Structure 1
Amino acid sequence: MGAPVLRPNHRPNHQPSGQSEDRGRQLSRRQYVRFAFYRVDPLWRRLEASEQALQKQELADVIRAFNRRMLLRPYSLMGTRSDAELLLWQIAENPLPFRELATAIASTRMGGYLNMVYSYFSQTKRSIYEIRSAHDDSPEERLVIDPSEAKYLFVYPFIKTRAWYQLSLHARQGIMDEHIEVGRKYPSVRLNTTYSFGLDDYEFIVAFETDE
């Protein structure tokens, strides 16, 4: 597939990093998050190279336009998965832009060759567990996602077992404390946890950002 659409962390509207980070901080204290995975129909690869280039440019233009309305990060999955080639990580103050983006993509010429194979929908919220900052021991809320410029993004949805919820809150907090301490041994990996309760089929969507 190649550039310009599918390079990891390609910044479609070419804004300086600081501007994007400022925009992330200006979002509300509750964000909606969507991970949309697309698979390209093999028939698309049989098109003339010139037609492929035109279609990719049209798709890139759509992504650029929506990157002005939400935090939007495209990632290439070529060579890593057999069931999808493109991931769009989307973060917004409300879910309406997600629907509008999906409609705009489907309306492009390349959209006729794209099949959304996975879609994970979630939101940020304050954890019921106490999470202390590694710097000053103050509580962390983690209500605002501010994506970094890391090269890689690892996404997985999950559900906790009934056995977990049968534990006391004190016991679960202890396990979470141990879990958090293990994560802090890898400072180059940035964790983004969002919640899907009542929104999607899973309970949590976790996304790790890293350059390694």
Structure 2
Amino acid sequence: MTLSHRLTRIFLWVSVIGGGFLLGAKVFDTVVLAGAWNHAVPDSLRYLPYGKDFPIDTGSFFIPVSALLLISNFGAAISGWRTPWSYRAYLVVPALGIFAALVFTVVVFWPMNASLWYFAHHRERVPNLSVADVVALGRQWVWLDWGRIAVVAVFLLASLRAFGLPFPEKSAPRDPLWVNLALGAFVVLAVAFVIYFVGNV
């Protein structure tokens, strides 16, 4: 067993186990927790999972697990990069998936969470935001979160597929220059995002 094979298998183990935990937690978060704070807006917003009525910060779970998956999925893709695309694709999809889910969280969910939180605690200061607007925002949050769950499910299935396939014995031919340039640009972008994400958590 080569070093790249060993590393890829280790990263896939982490990806599969962590992805399973993340998927289950996200379904619970959407069905149970979002179901609680979204069932009778605006009064139910007091159950948003960050206030005195909900003393546990869900980010304490989701942030470390997401970071672990980001590392493991990228690690699997990098360590298995020289495999043929018939196998490598199952390594690349999880890396792209977790990265897309995290970017979507920062760009879309963080502003929505801030709006919901601010309305729940300072309703008198946001006269331009009506209860109907917040109800619509809560419904949109849930639908978009199901989309995020779908992304997690897809990359988990891809990791499971890569885990179940035999590791290719032969290396793929060298990629064209544009593929390597695109990979380099994406890695730089991912590192920049991680720095931003950690700095704003």
TM-score (normalised: structure 1): 0.25
Q: Which has the higher contact order (CA 8 A, sep 6+)?
A: 2
Task: Find the structure with the greater CA-based Rg.
Answer: 2
More helix as a share of residues: 2
TM-score (normalised: structure 2): 0.26
More strand as a share of residues: 1
